Structure 1
Amino acid sequence: MIPPPPLAVPGDIDAIGAAWLSEALGHRVRSVRTTRIGTGQMGEAYRLELGGDGVPTSVVAKLGAADPAARSIVGGAYRGEVRFYDEVAPTVAIRVPACHHAAYDETTSQVVLLLEDLADHAQGDQLAGCTPAQAHDAAANLAGLHGPRWDDESLLELDDLKLNQQEDADLLAEFYGSAIDLYLSDAGAGLSPDDQATLRETVPLAGPWLLARADHFALVHGDYRLDNLMFRRDGEAGCVAVDWQTTSIAPPLRDLGFLLGTGLTPDVRRDHEEAVVATYHSALVGHGVTGFDLDECWLDYRISMLQGPLIAVFGCVYTGRTPRGDRMFATMVERSCAAMRDLGTLALVEGAVG
C-alpha cells in the first residue's frame, strides 16, 4: 500500500482549517476559532480554539513571516526550531511546550508548529525584570537543557550545529565594532557615559571571547531571557522555555549569564546571583554532570556576561525598530554593562584569551 503524501505546510493562517488540523492532530476537529497573538519579528503566532473529538481545547500555531523574502533569510532558524522539537526536546529535561505537529518546507521556507497553549502561565517581562524566585526557577529549568547532553559529541552530528571556529570569531570581530558605533549614535545615545565606555571596551574582546572557555559545551538556547519564558500564574516553580529558533552549541553558562545579566536589576542580581548559580550547578549535578565544580561554574558565569551586549546591540541595530524594542535593548545593555563591571568580566576575558 502506497503511504499518503506528507501533510502540506500551510502557506498562511487561512489554510489552517478543520480538515488540515484533523490530519495534523490525528483526531477529528469540527470547529476552529483563530486569534492573532504576539508581535513576533520572525513570524506570526495564533491561538486556535478547537472543537472536536480528542483534541486540545486550544493550541498555539506558529507560522513563518508573511513576506517570502523575509522567510528565506530566516529559514535556517525555522528549520532549527522544527529540529529541536522533533529530535532534541525528547533527549533533554528542560520544560518546553508540548508539540503536536512541526514541519518545515524547504521550497517555500514556510514553517508550522502546533504547540501547547500555556494558558496557566504568563510571559516574563524583560523590562520589569524578574524576582529571585523566578530566577531560581529559570536556572534550574535551564540545567535541564544543558545537563543531559553535557559534552555530548553526538550533538556535533546534528545538521547546522557546530562549535564556533576561528572564522566565526573573525566575522564577529569585523562587524561588532561598527554595530556598536551605529547603536551608540542612535538608539543607545542615551546610555550613561560609564555604560558607553564599557560597551566600547568590549569591541576588541568580542571575537576572542567567542572562542573562550570552550572546555565544556552543550546545546544552548541562545536567547534565554524573560520574554522567552512562561512562568506559572500561581507563583509556583515550573517555568517553560519557548522560541527555539536560535539553538546552537556553545559554552553553556552563556545562557545563564544572559538570563541573569539582562533579567535581574543590578541590586537584585548582586544580592542573589551567587545563590542562583549554585541552584543551576546543583541541578546540573542532578542531571549527571561531573568534573565541573561550583568554582568553575562561577568563573564561566562571570565570563559569560559579554553575551548580553552582543545580543542586545545586534538585535537593536539589525532588526525592526519599535519603541518597546529600543527600551528593552537599552535595559539589557545597561544591566549587562553593570554586571560586567561588578564581576570583572572584561579582565577575565583578557586573561582567558591572553
Structure 2
Amino acid sequence: MPDIREWKDIDADWLTAALCEGGVEAKVRSFEAGRVGTGQIGDCVRFKLDYATAPPDAPATLVGKFPSEGEQSRATGIQLGNYHREVKFYQLLQPSARISTPRCYFTDVNEDTHNFVLIMSDLAPAEQGDQLAGTSLEETKLVLKEAAKLHSAFWQDETLDQYAWVSGTTHAPNPIQPELVAMLWQGFKARYGDRVSAEAEQIGDLMSTNLDANDEIRSGPRTLIHSDFRPDNMLFDLSNGDKPVTVVDWQSFGYGPGGADVGYFIAGAIDPATRRAHESDLVDLYLSDMAALGADDYDRQVFMRHYVSGAYQHFLTAFFAAMVVNQTERGDNMFFRMLNGAVDLISDHDALDWFATT
C-alpha cells in the first residue's frame, strides 16, 4: 500500500502502487503534475501519466487531493476533522451513496496527524462549477436529482449515528463552540464593514448568539447530507448523459435534514429572481424523486423548514469560512455571493427572526 505523502513528494512508483490499489495493473514511467481547482481547505493536483505498461482502460490522468498548503486553511481542516471525514466517506459510505462521485483509486489518512491522500478519477472534460457564476436552471434540476439519490440512500438510517466522524451524530465531537461563532461574526463585520447589509447584520447577530435554536429548526427525519452542497464542489458535463453532475469535496458531510442541502444549494447557486419564479417546481422535483427512490414520507411542510435552515447554514458557512481560511479576493467575493443569496432566501420566506430569543 502507498504511504501518505505530500503531492510534491509523489513519484512514479507511488502512482503505480496507488493504481494497483484501485485495481489497475499498470506501471507508470513518468508523469506531470499541476494544481487544479479552487479549494479553500484542500489542494487538488492533476497527474498526467506516461505508462511503461498499461491495460487499454488505464486512466490517462488522475486527480489527487491533499491537505492545504496554506497554514491557516490546513489548521482549519484538521480542527474540523475535514480530512479524516472525507477519507472515511470514500472508504465506507461511497459504495452505498447512489449519488454520482469520482472513482476512488486510493485513499488513506493518518488519524493522529490528519495528513491524508485521496487519488480519484479525473472527470475532464467535466468542469468545476463556479459559485460566483452560479448554475442554470437545467443544471440546478440535475443537482437536485443527485441530492435525492444521496438522501434517499440513507433516509432515516440510524446506523449513521454510531460514527463519530459523521457530523451531527450522537458520538460526533462539536469543534465549533458558540463563543467561536459569535467571535467570528463580530470579526467578519469588523473586516468587511459596509459590505455587510442591514438584513445580513440582523441575521448574523441573532444566529451567532442563539445557535441552540438550530436544533429545533432542523428537527425531523435525518439522512446523510453533504453539508457543503454548492457549485464549487461539483463537476458539470451536460453532454454526458450518464454523469452530467458529479459531487466532490466530502469533507463536511453530516447526519441531518435532507432539505438543508437543497436550501443550501439553491440559496447560493441561482439568482433570486430565477429562484422565486421556479422554487415551487424545484421543490416538487426533489420531493418527487425522493418518493420514487423510496423516501415517500418527507412531509412538504417539514421539508420547507429544513430548506430554509439550509439557507441559514449557507449564511453561517460563508462568514465562518471567510474568517478561518487564507483570505483571497475570489474567496471574499464567493463568500458574499453565498451570504447574500442566503439573506434573500431567508427574507423571502419571512424567516429573518427564526433565531430570535423568546
Q: TM-score, normalised by structure 1?
A: 0.88
Equivalent residue of 2:228, what SS? coil
Match of 1:225 among 221, 230, 233: 230
- Paired residues for 1:246-257 under 5 Å: 246-257=252-263
Q: Secondary structure at the match of 1:103?
A: strand
Match for residue 86 of structure 1? 91
> What is the count of residue pairs matched by the alignment?
345
In 2, the alpha carbon distance for the partners of 1:251 and 1:176 equals 21
Matched, 1:18 2:12: yes
Q: Cα–Cα, structure 1 residues 169 and 45, in superposed 2: closer, same or farther, change >3 Å?
A: closer
Which has the larger displacement, 132-141 or 171-180?
A: 171-180
Distance (whole Å) between structure 2 residues aligned to residue 21 and residue 171 of structure 1: 36
Report if aligned partners of 1:262, 1:332 keep a CA contact under 8 Å in 2. Answer: yes
2:246 alignment partner AA: V
Between the aligned partners of 1:170 and 1:37, the Cα distance in structure 2 is: 29
What SS does the aligned partner of 2:194 have?
coil
Q: Are residue 8 (structure 1) and residue 3 (structure 2) matched?
A: yes
- SS of 1:23's partner is helix
Q: Which residue of 2 aligns with 1:65?
A: 68
- Letter matched to residue 34 of structure 1: A
- Secondary structure of 1:60's partner? strand
**Unpaired stretches in structure 1, ≥5 consecutive residues:** 1-5
Selected match of 2:317 from 303, 311, 317: 311
CA gap of 1:329–1:14, structure 2 versus 1, over 3 A, is: closer
- 1:219-250 deviation per Cα after TM superposition (whole angstroms, max 9, x unaligned): 11111111111111538672111111111112
Aligned pair in 2 of structure 1 residues 107, 318: CA closer, same or farther (>3 Å)? closer
Residue 300 of structure 2 corresponds to 294
* Identical positions, percent: 27
Structure 2 partner of 1:197:
202
Aligned residue number for residue 51 of structure 1? 50
Deviates more, 1:73-82 or 1:112-121: 73-82
CA 1:39–1:302: 2 relative to 1, 3 Å: closer
The DSSP-based 3-state class of the residue aligned with 2:118 is strand
Residue number in structure 1 paired with 2:326 = 320
In the alignment, which residue of structure 2 is the partner of 1:3? none
1:41 corresponds in structure 2 to 40
Cα distance, 1:169 vs. partner?
8.9
Following the alignment from structure 1 to structure 2, what is the Cα–Cα distance between the partners of residues 303 and 191? Answer: 20
Query: Aligned-pair distance for 1:347?
Result: 4.8
SS, match of residue 249 in structure 1: strand
> Match of 1:282?
288
Q: Which runs of 5+ in 2 are unaligned?
A: none
Judge which range, 52-61 or 22-31, deviates more. Answer: 22-31
- 1:170 and 1:13, CA in 2 relative to 1: closer, same or farther beyond 3 A? closer
CA 1:173/1:74 → structure 2, altered by over 3 Å: closer, same or farther?
Answer: closer
Q: Which stretch of the first structure deviates more once superposed, 153-162 or 121-130? A: 153-162
After TM superposition, list the pairs within 5 Å mapping 1:102-113 onto structure 2: 102-113=107-118
